[in-house]
Chain A
């Protein structure tokens, strides 16, 4: 297994454009999380899925953000009408719901720059 992968690794877009990021979790992990991280801060929780069900969304996640996890495998995070404040690192993590340590495995992140 190659761990959690995210694509693209970097994305530069103009304000007002839509962007979509993809996360491929570890195959047997049923939980998938999205976080956002800005410079000098820790990751902030955005949303999580158990299998294909999206069970919680942070208040940080405005109506411009939407996430899906069809068939409980990979997930996509879409940001519509991007704003400069959306510039951040978007991290995906996966875990087992019954793990002994509840360890989350993080991907390398997608760095978004909105110009």
Chain B
């Protein structure tokens, strides 16, 4: 079965710096990888999707990379702001199983002013 892991330790960075979060997966089968943001007491909110044949995807200050050889995705937030503080979840989308998501445990990001 697929397994997905994120750095469980919280990441603390200074405002304006780039935050980099890591997501590793095992037993990969053709799938897509998504990143979500979750604030306390709320449901996750979709940020980006990256497909297996894409190396990189960007959206405003966000960048996601996908290395199928390393079985790793990196999520970058450039010019980070205190409002970026949240938990970030990566998820494998199992396309041939109804699009269900297998989530990592999430990484809590704290951006200090």
Contacts and interface: CB of A to CB of B under 8 A. Distances in A.
A-B interaction: yes
Interface of A: 4, 31, 33, 35, 40-45, 48, 50, 55-56, 91, 93, 95, 97, 101-109
9 contacts: A41-B106, A42-B89, A42-B91, A42-B105, A91-B43, A102-B99, A106-B45, A108-B41, A108-B43
Of B46, B104, B105, most buried by chain A (CB within 10 Å of CB) is B46
Given A91-B43, A107-B43, A109-B43, A102 B106 contact: no
B112 to A, nearest CB: 22
Interface residues of B, number: 25
Interface in B56-113: 89, 91, 93, 95, 97-106
Contact of B97 (A56, A91, A108, A109): A56
Nearest to B91: A42
Contacts of B102: 45
Interface of B: 6, 8, 32, 34, 41-46, 49, 89, 91, 93, 95, 97-106
B77 to A, nearest CB: 19
B10 to A, nearest CB: 11
Given A42-B103, A104-B46, 11 more contacts: A33-B100, A33-B101, A40-B106, A41-B105, A42-B6, A43-B89, A50-B98, A91-B43, A93-B43, A102-B95, A105-B46
B98 A101 contact: no
Nearest to A97: B99
A97 B8 CA distance: 32
B98 A31 contact: yes
Given A55-B98, A56-B98, A42 B43 contact: no
Nearest to A106: B43
Contacts of B41: 108-109
